[in-house]
Structure 1
Amino acid sequence: MGGDLEGRVFLNPAVFDGFRLRSVESVLVHNDGSIDLGPPAAFNSNLGLKTKKIDAQGLTLVPSFHDTHIHLLSYAANILSYDIRSETVLSKERLAAVIKRAAYIQRDSNMVRLQGLEHNFQEGMSFVDRTLLDEVLPDRPLVIQTTSGHAHILNSVAMDLAGIGEATDEPPGVTFERTLADGKLSGVMYESGDYLEGKLPSLEASSMKEGIILALTSIHSRGVNYLTDATHLNDISRYELISSVIDGFPLHIHLIFMPAVTALRDFVEAGRTYRSTEGKIIMGHSKIMMTNSSGVLHPDRKEFQEMVRESHCQGFPVAIHAVDMGSIDMILDVLQDDYLVGDRIEHASELRDDQIVKMGHLGLSVCTQPSFIYERGDAYLSNQSEVNINSLYRIKSLMEAGVSVSASSDSPVTYPDPMKTIYSAMTRKTKSGNILNPKEGISALDSLKMLTTDSVTISGLPTREFQEPKIFKKEFLVLDINLASGGTNNILKNKVVRIKDFQ
């Protein structure tokens, strides 16, 4: 190697190099963060006095992670909102008290914002409607967003601001819930995020920038260096807001930005084509939102075909939000006649065997969320039939069919936590310890690949940084657990440390 080496030598760690997970005799970590693998003898003759040896038995060294599906501005807004996810028991009285506290904390805000209600998954939550919200806060606009982001609950002041009344027609794809007693609007609205944007007061730009910085800092602290914003509302203004923050963000983090299919031409006209790069932002797939919450697919087949055709004509593969089997059926039917390399499905939460086979034959990729098993698995087990349970998060089956699968948090639906992703993918355990569809569990190696190598693949990025397994010029992480052993007991307790900061 020539000359004395400075850095640290990790002895007997487990190492994941993007393709293999194995124990090695030693790893030399240079001061610039790059690493060499090899036997101690290969380094000994060149080790200078400044080189420190570390007993790394029981540790795993891995490349930094890529979260392939988040909603950065929503995560930032949620950080600035009042989060009620910590409320394990939320009675009517307790929710009223929480709203009053949130209103006091946000007393200078243009609207009271709460987030984190599991409206679709908690039994006995039917009391959460505008009647309750009006009783607690009758004179200020109030919006509660569910954790998933797919439902909002508004009080009457907020509904008036948004111009929503009893005679207001439901926009395509949006559902206004009505009470059974009198058929009046309950204030609960499904798939309404796009519709409400611009109709309700937004956070000031300075506040949003502060929220973005807090969100990026949180994400980076979990070992994530790459993230993909997969928001179906992504337009030029959102791009410019994120760009104004991330380009000056001091930590090593890059973002892939998926443009909304409805804004695609604006980006192309601005010279922002697929894979083009400006600063720390890379242009990603064209994002299409497919919903079925009202029992009717939106967009319909004809409109969806046009969206796919437009995206492909502009050189963009598509990333399609699809949760249920009905949506997947239509997507597969359309893509078999109009496919572009890189097309992917977001979530694919429920799948049949025949759908998995078709996805493999078409060459589609899937970005899914294993941590939902941990966070929501108990509710799934309580509310779903055995047949439906066996269709959920079929990660192993997808991989065996040749489908590239990446893992993500869908933040802010769940917090960005790669260790929870690894744990959930391996064990299929829920928060209470129940097991959901265990035959779909995967190995530590495949779990790590979902967060690194396979994330690179489905994002359309070059894989060159993984093609030299002996020398890496990449920011590595140290996990305080030997994943090569196959053990899972301490994964959730593990704290990710960047190798340059490890002592």
Structure 2
Amino acid sequence: MKTAHPDTLLIHNAEINGIPGLQLLIESGHIRAIGGNLSPEPRPHLRIDAKGGALLPGLTDHHIHLLATAAKRASLSAEHVTSFEELATLIRNAACGLSPGEWLRVTELDTFTVGIPDKDELDRIESTQPIRIQDRTGALWILNSCGLSFIDSNRGDHLPEGVERNKAGQLTGRIWRESEWLKDCLKSPPPDLERLGAELSSLGVTSVTDASVSTTQEMAGVLGRAHKSGTLPQRLRLMSGGKLTPCEVGSFEVGETKVLLDERSLVDFDEFGLTIRRSREQGRRVAVHCVTAVELSYCLAAFETYGAYPGDRIEHGSIIPKEAIPPINKLGLAVVTQPGFLHARGERYLARVDPCEQEDLYRCASLVEQEIPVAFSSDAPYGPIDPWLAMRTATDRLTETGHPICLKERIPAARALDMYLGTPPHQAARARQVRVGTAADLCLLKLPLVEALSDLSRHHVAATFINGRIVFQSDCTPS
């Protein structure tokens, strides 16, 4: 991504920390002065008229999967497929435009509605082109026989546990929790990250935490080099299941050790404890994937047994029973959650989640009231990437069609914005402000903050700056 990086830049007529009509001077990537009538010398190389808009710290997406999100942009979506017949039509139409041997990659299949097909069923749809389908949770891939031939020829019988077999020992085509193994097996090249970087910039996002448990040193190098080159301009923190080392200075920050819990096959408790201990030895915090009450209970038991540090995180907190809130508070854990799911999947939750558990979905207000650190994120590509949509959903708790889900968990718009302004490892407990001396990672809005908070929308982002570079411009005028 090509970005402007003048030695000096002056933003004038901006609302900063609630005060209108201010100027802000950027030099060498940092905020050097804020005032009412700055007269910098030498004259700035670029002046930008904010037109009265609010100038905010750049937003942070505290939980995203960058490579998976970039790959999804080049995939066929099955998000709106509601039957196997519709899936068959979608695949057949897409397969007509493929070159011989070209993969068809499908994502976001709702297996609750459509069911879980196997290779034989996919073969009846398309048998000549290799196909792989991912479910909407990201936990499952399904391949047809043509696709499985790539695995058979390369791996033989040396397959991981997640590669499903039937009672006769034959491959079913279903592969559970083995995305990185599959990618390595198929020798898939890294996806293009430039489009994703541009999209995040247009949303005002200046930093991200990639929460992938499968991040290897090699993958971290791909992401780090994309950041250093400007292709992915957002500052990077990377989680992983194992040890990580930055590939070069400024490429990425090493984040938490990720533990992926799956209620169907929970990790051994002693192994969980060993992971926590090794993380401490590396000076890292621990982030635990918890989307069910059982997973959350297991997570809390582990932290109670092996110890929790400030900055340890519960990822998602999709279901948090009321009785789990006091132990979360006692242990000092943060919750990094995604209210955007209530908008995107709310109708499914209302139809499928037990009514007595619906008040436990993506809690917010009840956590904030107990002073539990809470931060928001997208979980893209599995959730909507738009932070402004997530903020809006946190304030109204409405599904896409306007049905409410536990309105008592609503929070004010200003507090929702703070959930994207925290600095890890403490997330929203320490919301950033625009201050002299800090890095010039900024989000300029087209209107004052009070107006923007009354209409939380991505369309109000006028410009985004990362380290003083203009990485997105919409409606701000150089002068």
The interval holding the TM-score normalised by the smaller chain is: 0.7 to 0.9
Do residues 323 (structure 1) and 291 (structure 2) align?
yes
- In structure 1, the residue corresponding to 2:418 is in which secondary structure? helix
Distance 1:467 1:31 in 2: 15
The verdict on how the C-alpha distance between 1:350 and 1:482 changes in structure 2, with shifts beyond 3 A counting, is farther
Contact preservation (8 Å) 1:78, 1:412 = yes
Distance 1:468 1:408 in 2: 21
Deviation at 1:425, TM superposition (A): 1.2
Which of 71, 86, 104 does residue 112 from structure 1 map onto?
104
The correspondence of residues 181-260 of structure 1 with structure 2, limited to 5 A, is 187-194=173-180, 196-199=182-185, 201-204=186-189, 208=190, 211-249=192-230, 252-260=233-241
Q: Give the corresponding residue for 2:4.
A: none
Deviation at 1:61, TM superposition (A): 3.0
In structure 1, runs of 5+ residues without a counterpart are: 18-22
Do residues 155 (structure 1) and 144 (structure 2) align?
yes
One-letter identity of the residue aligned with 2:390:
T
Which of 417, 420, 443 does residue 477 from structure 1 map onto?
443
One-letter identity of the residue aligned with 1:98:
L
Q: Which has the higher contact order (CA 8 A, sep 6+)?
A: 2
CA deviations 1:21-58 (Å, max 9, x no partner) are xx4332214365848666xxx439999999887652xx
In structure 2, runs of 5+ residues without a counterpart are: 1-7, 465-469
- In structure 1, the residue corresponding to 2:111 is in which secondary structure? coil
Which of 5, 19, 24 does residue 24 from structure 1 map onto?
19
The verdict on how the C-alpha distance between 1:413 and 1:25 changes in structure 2, with shifts beyond 3 A counting, is same
Contact preservation (8 Å) 2:316, 2:337 = yes
Which of 414, 422, 426 does residue 395 from structure 2 map onto?
426
Distance 2:123 2:201 in 1: 39
The sequence identity of aligned pairs, in percent, is: 25
Deviation at 1:238, TM superposition (A): 1.0
One-letter identity of the residue aligned with 1:193:
S
CA deviations 1:299-329 (Å, max 9, x no partner) are 1212211211222222221111111111111
Q: Give the corresponding residue for 2:301.
A: 333
Distance 2:255 2:325 in 1: 24
Deviation at 1:127, TM superposition (A): 7.2
Do residues 287 (structure 1) and 258 (structure 2) align?
yes
- In structure 2, the residue corresponding to 1:247 is in which secondary structure? helix
Contact preservation (8 Å) 1:153, 1:187 = yes
Contact preservation (8 Å) 1:34, 1:475 = no
Higher mean C-alpha displacement, 90-99 vs 445-454: 90-99
Contact preservation (8 Å) 1:321, 1:345 = yes
One-letter identity of the residue aligned with 1:484:
V
Which of 69, 80, 95 does residue 63 from structure 2 map onto?
69
- In structure 2, the residue corresponding to 1:429 is in which secondary structure? coil
Q: Give the corresponding residue for 2:130.
A: 141
Deviation at 1:191, TM superposition (A): 3.0
Contact preservation (8 Å) 1:10, 1:53 = yes
TM-score by length of 2: 0.82
Q: Give the corresponding residue for 2:345.
A: 376
The verdict on how the C-alpha distance between 1:358 and 1:443 changes in structure 2, with shifts beyond 3 A counting, is same
Deviation at 1:446, TM superposition (A): 1.5
Distance 1:97 1:239 in 2: 38
Distance 1:351 1:494 in 2: 33
The verdict on how the C-alpha distance between 1:228 and 1:46 changes in structure 2, with shifts beyond 3 A counting, is closer
Distance 1:335 1:127 in 2: 35
- In structure 1, the residue corresponding to 2:184 is in which secondary structure? coil
Contact preservation (8 Å) 1:102, 1:114 = no
TM-score by length of 1: 0.79
Contact preservation (8 Å) 2:163, 2:171 = no
Q: Give the corresponding residue for 1:9.
A: 12
Which of 337, 343, 360 does residue 391 from structure 1 map onto?
360
Deviation at 1:282, TM superposition (A): 0.9
Deviation at 1:291, TM superposition (A): 0.8
One-letter identity of the residue aligned with 1:143:
R
One-letter identity of the residue aligned with 2:395:
M
Do residues 103 (structure 1) and 92 (structure 2) align?
no
Aligned residues between the structures: 454
Name the Cα RMSD after superposition. 3.7
One-letter identity of the residue aligned with 1:243:
G
Deviation at 1:364, TM superposition (A): 0.9
